[in-house]
Amino acid sequence: MEDRIILVDKPAGISSFGVVARVRRGLRDEFGRKIKVGHTGTLDPFATGLLILLSGKMTKRSNEFLKLDKEYEATVRLGCVSSTGDPEGEITKVNERVPEKSEIEKVINGFIGKIQQKVPKFSAIKINGRRAYQLARKGEEFETPTREVEIYSIDILGYNYPELRIRCHVSSGTYIRTLGEDIGEKLGTGAYLTALRRTKVGKYDVANAEKLEDFLEM
């Protein structure tokens, strides 16, 4: 079938657009002609997990998927900040303050509900027709919008300073990198993400996704 929903477990080190390009080439080889392929929400290159792609006529339904809630697992490193909010940026040490788990729980609970979140400069949104991350990499000055998002839940999966592992259930449009930075700011330690994995988009689970290489081999 050329009109389908494709669930891919994205590996680290490749952009979402890179995944789309490789899947498009794979379908072209399979059907002997060009097949339209699009994503339904990007993942950062360092991130892994569920990437939903649509092919053929299914691409017309992309807006349905963009609005779905999402679930992530993230590793937050306290005590430092990153220029990009992730391991790909310039890392700067803030301090060696070690917050108690109870303090972290209190700070995290303060983010539950509807909050205002500023879109990070290293993101795929368009500013005057250009991707924000492209402008940021060139050192250009620009402002990103602030959006209302909703955090449904944040669970602590583990804490061994400086690493804090969390699971987040959030609305569409939420940036987990920004959430990690905001948690670090509230704690007075600074923070950035060292790992991020998207596990669910709406009813779709990464457990049912194919590894990129496995899909291409098929």
Q: Residue 213's pLDDT is what?
A: 87
d(CA 162, CA 100): 11
Active site residue 29: no
Select the highest-mean-pLDDT range: 35-44, 126-135, 199-208. Answer: 199-208
Q: Residue 117's pLDDT is what?
A: 94
The model's confidence at residue 116, banded by pLDDT at 50, 70 and 90, is: very high
The model's confidence at residue 218, banded by pLDDT at 50, 70 and 90, is: low
| Peptide bond preceding 162 in cis form (omega within 30 of 0) | yes
Would you say 183 and 76 are in contact if contact means Cβ atoms under 8 Å apart? Answer: yes
Residue 167 has pLDDT above 90, yes or no: yes
Instruction: Given the residues 3, 9, 44, 205, select the one marked as catalytic.
Output: 44
Q: Residue 51's pLDDT is what?
A: 96
Query: What percent of the chain stands above pLDDT 70?
Result: 100
The domains found in the chain, sorted by start residue, are 4-67+203-217 (3.30.2350.10), 70-201 (3.30.2350.10)
Helix (H) or strand (E) holding 177: helix 176-187
